[in-house]
Structure 1
Amino acid sequence: MSRRLRFGIVGYGALGQALTSHLAQHEELAEIVGYVVRDVSRFNGDGRFVAELDELLARKPDVVIECAGQQAMRQHALSIVRAGVDLVPASVGALVDDAWRRELLAAAHASGARIRIPTGAIVGIDGLAAARHVGIDSVVYRGTMPPSTLKAHYDGVLPEHGLVFEGTAREAVRLFPKNVNLAGTIALAGVGFEQTRVEMHVDPALTANVHELFVRGAFGEFHVRISGLRLSESSPSSRIVAGSLAQSALGSNFTVLQR
């Protein structure tokens, strides 16, 4: 019988806790060897929680899942892949920095690690990646969310209803760093940050995050839509995001970062 996979997790907020719950259902396949958190004192001496990434890497994880935001992704990702450990990032928007992304890829290639991009809050990423080989003319991601999802993480003034932003995925990631990691996933699977168009809408009648993807090209066209319930009132992440991280960590439903 093959040994269980060893997982490390960066972050233990709402997303990290939901991920932990999902992975706990697969104890025969995997074990969590530790978490990197900012304040270890909160966990009353529980040895699973450490303050430094080196302490986690010393426990020899096979995969590290990042659940702590773009700043943590920028802080830890290079060290993870340089150690030869596969990385599953929730904060895919951090990869908008082209020079840093190339540095990260070079480090992964040198060590043999893979950067597994999860599907995140939507379905259809596999179709988008397949369509890229055939030819894509246009990709539009439309996110429609309640004000409570957007206002805590957006510096601009929200309208009561309707269009908040329209532009490139690169611009969207900068303006909505907590809300459009999905735009990064779509851009990387498809036609890139400049060619991927993003629309952000606000709708006070919604209680869920609505994500839509419109793709056209030489292959034909498709449109997918998902209404995703959030992890909590304070978390912008859809519940399915934690499931996508678990699935990627366990070994399926991800795209390997290649460019």
Structure 2
Amino acid sequence: MENIQNQTQELEGRIALVTGGTKGIGKAIADRLTQAGAKVIVTARNQPGEIDLQHYFIAADLSVPSDVTKVANEIHEQFGGVDILVNNMGSNTLPGGGFSVLTDEHWDQALQVNLLSSVRLDRALLPKMLEQKSGVIIHISSTSGMLPIWESTMPYSAAKAALNAYSKTLSGEVAAQGVRVITVSPGLNKTQAMATFLEDLAKSAGISVEQMSQNLMERLGGIPLGRMADPKETAELVNFLVSPRASYITGANYIIDGGNFPVV
């Protein structure tokens, strides 16, 4: 019982930043870290409709370098730095249909949002972690980075694959200095963003959202657990990875996909 009670507030005194933290997986992570005792900062482009007094909010578009600088400066001024950084920001909103419909602007947008926003924020906030010789960075990637679908995720998958490689190399650089870097690759999560993605695909294909959802799961090879994840399930994994219980884990990529990924 004592061990369980200790775990409920095991992040007390820690400062955490969750990007894209006002909805979907990001909000679930922010809420879970708060529940574990952390003071959580969230970023998003727009203030959420319902004010969440649990979290310190900074409006920012992290695909814009100057906004990354703004966020880092405010964090350093208000909190001195962070102990936990969850780079959750990402999106797959570009046109489907393969290489011929994708412009240079589309590719640049995918890289800015899904890769370079994390690279820049790490560069801004990591020095303080290295100075204090402790910290955890989580990069939220996607199984799409290892299992791409040309019809709908080409630039997104390429950017997430690059994020996976970057995260692994960064972990090797900073591990000896007390900072852990871990990748989490969710599969399909039942979020509003996923619902919009499926609606757009269904409209383009002229079929129902239900049929498109089934088609997507079949295209991915099926999900043995038979459903999409609840974002809270992904958040629970992240909460464990940033906790002292995961103190010997770094450089790994954790796949959380209901058994979908087809290789050992």
Bin the TM-score by the shorter chain.
0.3 to 0.5
Judging by fraction of residues, say which structure has more helix: 2
RCO higher in 1 or 2 (8 Å CA, sep ≥ 6)? 1
Judging by fraction of residues, say which structure has more strand: 1
TM-score normalised by structure 1 residue count: 0.47
